[in-house]
């Protein structure tokens, strides 16, 4: 899966903004606010009934890339 360069640039911005935070939801909020709609479409949505977050394949790939770039493993808290 090819990750667009713009997304990688915004990932660096998110790191500068969040510092050592490993919270997936905070990271996702920063990314969604800074990306155009055509790049936001790959992110998952919450379950409409339970409001729970579930990671999709694209998001798991982002977490792996973020860990390789920053040594921080983003986590989805229950």
- % of the chain at pLDDT higher than 70: 99
Is residue 78 assigned to a domain? no
pTM of this prediction?
Answer: 0.89
Q: How confident is the model at residue 45 (pLDDT cuts 50, 70, 90)?
A: confident
Total domain count, the chain: 1
The runs of H, that is alpha helices, within 1-78 are: 5-18, 24-34, 37-40, 57-70
Show the domain range for 49: 5-70
pLDDT class for 5, splitting at 50, 70, 90? very high
> Considering the domain boundaries, does residue 76 fall inside one?
no
- Is a pLDDT exceeding 70 seen at residue 74? yes
Task: Report which of residues 1 and 60 the model is more confident about.
Answer: 60
Residue range 4-31: average pLDDT?
95
Residue 17 is assigned to a structural domain of this protein: yes
Q: Identify whether 18 is part of a domain.
A: yes
Determine the pLDDT at residue 77: 81
């Amino acid at each position: 899966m090819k990750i667009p360069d713009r997304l990688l640039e915004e990932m660096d911005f998110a790191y500068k903004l969040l510092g050592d935070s490993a919270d997936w939801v905070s990271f996702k909020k920063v990314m969604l606010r800074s990306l155009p709609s055509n790049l936001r479409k790959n992110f998952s949505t919450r379950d409409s009934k339970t409001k729970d977050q579930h990671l999709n394949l694209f998001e798991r790939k982002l977490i792996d890339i973020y860990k390789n770039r920053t040594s921080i493993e983003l986590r989805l808290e229950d």
